[in-house]
């Protein structure tokens, strides 16, 4: 039996696992057809200027070693099978950080013929294929600032509180 | 080996460059553009910003008898064109960038507008605030045809010209 298809990963297990990886989270970077802007910002985060290794965040070359996938880009139709393959290779808990406007909402390619348009649109497809995503954090920005990416990881690990909330104002 | 030793005085001179971001203020310059903020008092719901917005992050949605100006941060590219184009100067660019969220629906900001009803057919056609603004600026607009929807207005004016035939 394929280990990745087991969906008996409860909420308590996720909390336990998050507590375990809080001090050292290994990330794997997937570019799914982005413009490289967010990729350069991710590179910025890993340089000594921001130095995320003080939080134990480390870039790894294989999704099999990774706790967190950094997804940038609006998921083009060409890259979709590779994204699914890379996410399937990740061990549970499978955490995803959707970085940049493209990965969050599709940016200006939200209704283009060659893109899916945002990571949230493939969630159902991933569920059908047996690839469960345990936690997603969306980081808007075009490109997202290095500080915003650090904040997103901190939010994913539960170290900071969420700042944005749904607001409905009356004019 | 010798080359590596040369680095040591340089490194000592420069010192630590790491920015301790969560415990230190982020490096935000004067020209940085973050999320926008719509002032609900000034906004009239004309929809100029929704037309200029490249990724359609701003959109006008009709929900029953209310008009909603929805700002979805997830699609925004922070170009600032909406702030330039707004005739009321109701849109301000803030320096907010910590917008990460676990839920997509949390990234929405709605501004609710009241819609004006046509006195003849009862259809909603424009926000009350925009109509009041137009009426205050256009003097030649008679009161009886100002509250009609575009279709009824056409029929009414045609009726006046032809004398009711």
Report pLDDT digits (tens) over B26-55: 888 888 999 999 999 999 988 899 999 999
Subunit contact A164:B55, Cβ cutoff 8 A? no
> Vertex B134, ends B129 and B140: CA angle to 5°?
145
Give the number of A-B residue pairs with CB atoms closer than 8 Å: 134
pLDDT at A4: 46
Q: Tell me the shortest Cα–Cα distance from A122 to chain B, in angstroms.
A: 14
Please calculate the CA angle A142-A143-A149 and round it to the nearest 5 degrees. Answer: 120
Helix, strand or coil, per DSSP, at residue B142: coil
Token couple for B76: 């925004």
Could you tell me the pLDDT band of residue B125, with boundaries at 50, 70 and 90?
Answer: confident
- pLDDT beneath 50: ranges in chain A: 1-5
Q: Give me the mean pLDDT over the B101-130 stretch.
A: 88
State whether residue A113 sits within 8 Å of chain B by CB: no
Contacts of A106 in chain B (CB under 8 A): 55, 75
Q: What is the ipTM of this complex?
A: 0.84
Q: Is A148 on the interface with B (CB under 8 A)?
A: yes
Q: What average pLDDT does the structure give for chain B?
A: 88
Report CB contact under 8 Å: A142, B41.
Answer: no
pLDDT in tens, A50-86: 888 888 889 999 999 998 999 999 999 999 999 999 9
Interface of B with A in 124-143 (CB under 8 A): 127, 129
Q: What is the pLDDT of residue A63?
A: 92
User: pLDDT per residue over B67-91, tens digit each?
Assistant: 999 999 989 999 999 999 999 899 9
Q: Which of A142, A164, A171 sits opposite B77 (nearest CB)?
A: A142
For residue A21, the model assigns a pLDDT of 79
**Structure-token pair, residue A93:** 């808990």
With CA atoms as reference, the chain A residue closest to B36 would be: A141
Whether the CB-CB separation of B92 and B42 falls below 8 Å is answered with: no
With CA atoms as reference, the chain B residue closest to A110 would be B55
Strand stretches in chain B, DSSP E? 36-38, 58-63, 66-72, 91-93, 108-117, 124-127
**Do you know the residue count of chain A?**
171
59-98 in A: which are within 8 Å (CB) of B? none
B-chain CB neighbours of A152 within 8 Å are 100
């Amino acid at each position: 039996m394929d280990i990745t298809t087991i969906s008996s990963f409860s909420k308590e297990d996720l909390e336990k696992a998050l507590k375990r990886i809080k001090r050292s989270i290994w990330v794997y970077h997937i570019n799914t057809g982005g413009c490289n802007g967010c990729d350069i910002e991710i590179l910025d985060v890993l340089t000594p200027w921001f130095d995320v290794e003080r939080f134990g965040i480390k870039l790894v070359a294989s999704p099999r070693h990774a706790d967190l996938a950094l997804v940038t880009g609006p998921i083009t139709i060409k890259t979709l099978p590779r994204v699914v393959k890379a996410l399937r290779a990740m061990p549970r808990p499978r955490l995803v950080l959707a970085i940049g406007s493209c990965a969050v909402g599709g940016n200006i390619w939200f209704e283009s013929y060659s893109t899916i348009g945002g990571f949230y649109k493939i969630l159902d497809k991933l569920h059908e294929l047996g690839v469960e995503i345990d936690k997603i954090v969306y980081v808007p920005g075009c490109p997202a600032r290095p500080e915003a990416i650090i904040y997103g990881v901190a939010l994913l690990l539960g170290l900071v509180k969420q700042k944005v909330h749904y607001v409905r104002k009356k004019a | 080996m010798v080359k590596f030793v040369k680095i040591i005085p340089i490194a000592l001179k420069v010192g630590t460059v790491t920015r301790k971001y969560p415990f230190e203020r982020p490096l935000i310059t004067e020209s940085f553009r973050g999320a926008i903020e719509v002032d609900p008092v000034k906004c009239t719901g004309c929809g100029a910003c929704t037309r200029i917005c490249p990724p359609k992050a701003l959109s006008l949605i009709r929900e029953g008898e209310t008009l909603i100006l929805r700002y979805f941060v997830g699609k925004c590219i922070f170009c600032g064109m909406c702030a330039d184009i707004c005739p009321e100067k109701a849109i301000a660019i803030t320096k907010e960038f910590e917008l990460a969220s676990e839920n997509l629906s949390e990234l929405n900001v709605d501004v609710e507008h009241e819609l004006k009803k046509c006195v003849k057919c009862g259809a909603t056609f424009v926000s009350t605030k925009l109509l009041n603004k137009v009426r205050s600026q256009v003097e030649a607009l008679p009161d009886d045809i100002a509250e009609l929807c575009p279709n009824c207005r056409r029929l009414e004016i045609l009726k006046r010209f032809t004398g009711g035939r």
